[in-house]
Each structure stands twice: as C-alpha cells, then as structure tokens.
Amino acid sequence: MKVAIIGAGNVGKALAGSAVKAGHSVAITATSAHKAEEAAKATHARAARSNQEAVKDAELVILAVPADKVDEVVGALSSDLDGKVVIDVTNRVNPQDPGKVLDGTSTAERIQRRVPKAHVMKALNYAFSVRHANPSVDGTRLDGFVAGDNKAAKEKALAFVESIGFRPVDAGPLAMSRALEGMAMLIISLQIRNGWPWQNGWKLVGPPKD
Ligand SMILES: NC(=O)c1ccc[n+]([C@@H]2O[C@H](COP(=O)([O-])OP(=O)(O)OC[C@H]3O[C@@H](n4cnc5c(N)ncnc54)[C@H](OP(=O)(O)O)[C@@H]3O)[C@@H](O)[C@H]2O)c1
C-alpha cells in the first residue's frame, strides 16, 4: 500500500519502520523537515516536504501527531483526504483527571465530521510505540483493533495492522473509537500508577484462538 504518516515522533517513526518492513511504500512528514528526513533515513521511508505532498498519492494516511494538533492538521488537509483511509492513532491524555478524556466523545468521530468524505478509522492508539515496532509479547501476537464505518476502508486498515504484525480485530463502527480511546487512557494510567515500563499490549484470550 502507499502509506502517508503525518508525524515523525515515537509513533510515526515506529510505524514507518514496521510498514516499510511489511513492504509498504511510506512517505513521512513532521513539522520540521529535518525530523522527517531523520525518521525517513532511519526507517527507509521517504521524507515528504509537506503533509499535502505526503498524502497526495497515499491510499492510507496515518495521523500520528499530538492530539492538540489534530484539528490544525486535518483542517489544512481537508479535501486532500477525500476517499482515503485515515487511521487516527492520536490520544488525548489526562492521567490526573481521566474523566476529562473519557467524556463520551472521541477524536476519531470529530475528525470524521470534519472530513466527511474520508474514511476515518481508529486503530493502534491503544498500543505503545515499542509495540508498533514489535507487536509481539513473549510470542503472543497482540490484537490490532480497528473501529470505523466504511467496510472497504476497514478491510484495508485491518490488512495494514495485520501486515505489521498485529492480529486484526474488527472493533465495530467508528463509535467504538470511544472505547479504543478509553483503552489507551487505561493502559497509559496503569504504567504511571504502577511504574510499569510501557511494554504492555492488549490481547483478548479465548476463542477464536490465534
Ligand atoms: N508514544 C506512544 O507510545 C503512543 C502510542 C499510541 C498513540 N500515541 C499518540 O500518537 C500521537 C503521536 O505520539 P508521539 O509519541 O509519536 O508524539 P511525538 O513524539 O511528540 O511526535 C509528534 C510528531 O508530530 C509532528 N507534528 C506536530 N504537528 C505537526 C503538523 N502540523 N504537521 C506534521 N507533523 C506534525 C511532530 O513534528 P516535529 O518532529 O517536527 O516536532 C512530531 O514529529 C499522539 O497523539 C499520542 O497520544 C502515542
């Protein structure tokens, strides 16, 4: 697949590495051209000069920017995202006051309203970047939940998460992004409260076996 990754931080870089290894053609961008070039060099992706250029030929776009930049990034791209699969990896994080984040809304649904002709999917936000690079723990393949409304786009997003090593799990309609965002808030606050090393991942046990 032709993949554009917006954001070249922990997540952008890890996903670029995994996606290139899986055989995808990857363009990556950041605010600073230098950061994008550095990430591209480390992962064998291509650095794009702008978000517009990155998404131009992409069929799948990954939003890996801080949550407070989402509106700016999506607003500027706007119709450039029409018809594309957009995976929202972002999380609002507030460990001190989680209720502010677990407020019955989701960023993914907000993005979908903003770009109604794009196919927004929530996925991979519940996994730490170390797991984006290696989605296996003690030989167990972690689950890669994908929530979204468009069937064909969801198949593409599920194929992508599987290609980088997750077990693909259809998590239902985009409204389920509220749960996936809650799972991220939970796994993050567990690390902070218990001093865990940011290595866990999510796995449903029981049938069907994987
Ligand atoms: N870290 C994790 O393990 C993890 C796991 C799952 C989900 N998430 C979520 O994924 C998102 C990214 O996390 P991260 O840890 O990768 O953050 P990060 O290391 O701070 O990286 C953010 C990246 O976004 C880029 N960026 C900011 N504004 C941009 C814009 N307007 N256009 C293009 N790029 C822009 C930054 O560019 P510069 O480099 O030039 O500043 C940077 O490369 C967050 O929403 C986070 O909550 C994180």
CA of 89 to the centre of ligand 1 (A): 9
Q: Render pLDDT for 6-25 as a digit per residue (tens, 0 to 9).
A: 999 999 999 999 999 999 99
Q: How far apart are CA 65 and CA 6, in angstroms?
A: 7
Q: Render pLDDT for 102-159 as a digit per residue (tens, 0 to 9).
A: 999 999 999 999 999 999 999 999 999 999 999 999 999 999 999 999 999 999 999 9
Reported confidence tier of residue 55, pLDDT bands at 50, 70, 90: very high
Q: Over pLDDT 90: what percentage of the chain?
A: 98
* Pocket residue to mutate for ligand 1, from 6, 11, 55, 110, most atoms within 8 A of Cβ: 11
Q: Is the dihedral of CA 127, 128, 132, 134 positive or negative?
A: negative
CA of 142 to the centre of ligand 1 (A): 22
| Burial class (CB within 10 angstroms; exposed 0-12, middle 13-18, buried 19+) of 4 | buried
What's the mean pLDDT in 52-74? 98
Note the pTM of the prediction, 2 decimals: 0.98
